[in-house]
Structure formats: C-alpha cells, structure tokens
C-alpha cells in the first residue's frame, strides 16, 4: 500500500513494514511543501514491526509524525549516519550488508541494504562522498517470500543495474519516482527517477510488479501518475505497473506454490 509521498506499507511474512514514513498534514516543511496528507493515518496502521528509512534528513522522506512512528517501532533500519542521528531503535546498514528480522511464523526476513544515488551521477558530492546525502535502498527476502526491492531516493540507472546484477529474481519493486527537483540544486536536475527512468529501471530489474511511490503529495515532484502510465506504456511494460489509489492494498503474485500473504 502506498500511503502518499514515498511512504509504503508492506505486509510480508507476518510482519508489518513501513518504508520512509511520512504522516504529517499538508503544509510547509522548511524548503519543501507538502500538498497532500496521508491516505491512512499512523494510528490506522496499528502496530508496526519494522521501519525502513532510506535517509532521515529530507522531510519528504521522514516528517514529524513519521519520525514519531519510527521511534515508537521496535526496529528501524537505515543508513549509518541516520542511525547515529535517530538513536534507538535505529540500526545503520552499509550497502550490501544485511539484517535478519525474526518472523512470527518462525522464519526470518532478510533486509539487505543496497546503494542509492540521490541525484545525477556527476553532481557535487558531500564531505562523505555522497551525491546530495547518504541514502540506501533495501532488498527484502526470505524463504517462501517474494523478493522486494525498495529503491529509496535513487536517480541512478547505473546503480539499479548493479542491484539487478547482484540480486537474484526480484519479484516486486517499489520505485521512488516523481523526478524530484529543488530549484538551484544540481542545476534543477532530477534527484530521483523520472517516469522514463522508472520504466528503464523496471526493465533492468525485471520484476512482475512495479509499485511507484514518491511521485505525488509534495510540490517538488515534477512528474506524476500520468507520466508514469505513459512511460510504462511507451516501453511496452504497462503490465508491470501498479498505479493503485493510495491507501489500497496491492497483491503481489509469484510462482511459489506455497501460499503466503504479501501485500504492499
């Protein structure tokens, strides 16, 4: 389920997982403006088992209520620098390191951090060598579960290609699209995937299901639902695209015979 902005809820292996939680009402957030509230409130979600934060320092990825939800959860997985800022219960993961989360059914969910580049490849890097700031994406996997890629704020097809090469059989991808642009930043170039690059990422990754997020709800997202529909149709990939209304569950299908419950 996409809640709005980047925020996505995944029910996987008996765990309720929220990525990049944002639950504030519309209004200004420093240099960014939120223009739509969440389709579902944090309270309506009930207990959350795991929160994924691709980066903590941009308000469109972690706003005030989202931060409160994260800090009330038993576990937050995020970047090393974000874990230092957030404190308990956040754990920092470097790209290509994993954390195992116990499942109520006795198995485990493996969360692997993957790289993300938050702007053009040649853009100015911060003191730590990151374009824009430190960001990670996530790959979720486990026995009997679909493998799901959650991109975080990433604009790099080169990075998506590396993730596809190193990750066997991604079944579903949550792609942060919307071509976020901040006036004056990197010559106004996109800080996340635009619609055409989202379709290209989907072609490289090859999942059966692509769920776009991070394409509406904030004023700095320059491409939205219509652009995504067109780009995927142009590429002949409309069958992958799931542009459901925010707040509605999107079933994930796989060839695994064993029944499992997994919805995004």
Name the residues that contact Zn ion, by CB under 5 A. 58, 153
Beta carbon of residue 254, minimum distance to Zn ion (angstroms, whole number)? 30
Smallest CA-to-CA distance from 202 within 148, 153, 241 is with: 241
Q: Which is nearer to Zn ion, 153 or 223 (CB)?
A: 153
Beta carbon of residue 264, minimum distance to Zn ion (angstroms, whole number)? 21
Determine the Cα angle at 38 with ends 145 and 198, to 5°: 55
**Chain residue whose CB lies nearest Zn ion:** 58
Beta strands, E only, 5-102: 7-12, 15-19, 27-29, 32-34, 50-52, 76-78, 90-92, 98-102
d(CA 260, CA 264): 13
Q: Which is nearer to Zn ion, 34 or 58 (CB)?
A: 58
Beta carbon of residue 156, minimum distance to Zn ion (angstroms, whole number)? 14
Beta carbon of residue 69, minimum distance to Zn ion (angstroms, whole number)? 18
Residue 80: CB atoms within 10 Å: 16
Beta carbon of residue 260, minimum distance to Zn ion (angstroms, whole number)? 32
Q: Which is nearer to Zn ion, 58 or 181 (CB)?
A: 58
Instruction: Evaluate the omega torsion of the peptide bond into residue 89 and state whether it is cis, within 30 degrees of 0.
Output: yes
SS (H, E, C) 64-87: HHHHHHHHHCCCEEECHHHHHHHC
Q: Which is nearer to Zn ion, 130 or 232 (CB)?
A: 130
Q: Which is nearer to Zn ion, 150 or 250 (CB)?
A: 150
Give the position of tokens 């960001």: 135
Bridge partners of residue 7, in order along the sequence: 4
């Amino acid at each position: 389920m996409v809640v709005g902005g980047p925020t996505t809820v995944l029910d996987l292996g008996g765990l309720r997982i929220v990525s990049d939680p944002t639950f504030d009402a519309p209004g200004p957030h420093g240099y960014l403006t939120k223009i739509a509230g969440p389709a579902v409130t944090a309270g309506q979600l009930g207990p959350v088992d795991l929160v994924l934060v691709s980066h903590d320092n941009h308000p469109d990825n972690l706003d005030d209520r989202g931060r409160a939800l994260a800090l009330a959860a038993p576990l937050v997985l995020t970047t090393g620098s974000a874990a230092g800022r957030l404190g308990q219960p956040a754990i920092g993961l470097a790209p290509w390191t994993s954390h195992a989360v116990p499942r109520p059914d006795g198995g485990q969910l493996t969360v692997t951090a993957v790289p993300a580049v938050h702007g053009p490849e040649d853009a100015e890097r911060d003191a730590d060598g990151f374009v824009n700031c430190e960001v990670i994406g996530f790959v979720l996997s486990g026995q009997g579960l679909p493998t799901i890629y959650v991109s975080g704020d990433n604009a790099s097809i080169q990075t998506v290609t590396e993730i596809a090469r190193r990750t066997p059989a991604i079944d579903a991808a949550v792609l942060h699209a919307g071509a976020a642009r901040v006036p004056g930043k990197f010559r106004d170039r996109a800080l996340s995937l635009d619609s055409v690059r989202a379709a290209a990422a989907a072609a490289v990754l090859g999942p059966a299901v692509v769920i776009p997020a991070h394409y509406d709800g904030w004023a700095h997202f320059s491409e939205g639902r219509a652009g995504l529909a067109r780009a995927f149709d142009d590429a002949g990939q409309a069958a992958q695209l799931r542009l459901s209304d925010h707040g509605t569950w999107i079933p994930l299908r796989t060839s695994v015979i064993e029944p499992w419950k997994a919805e995004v």
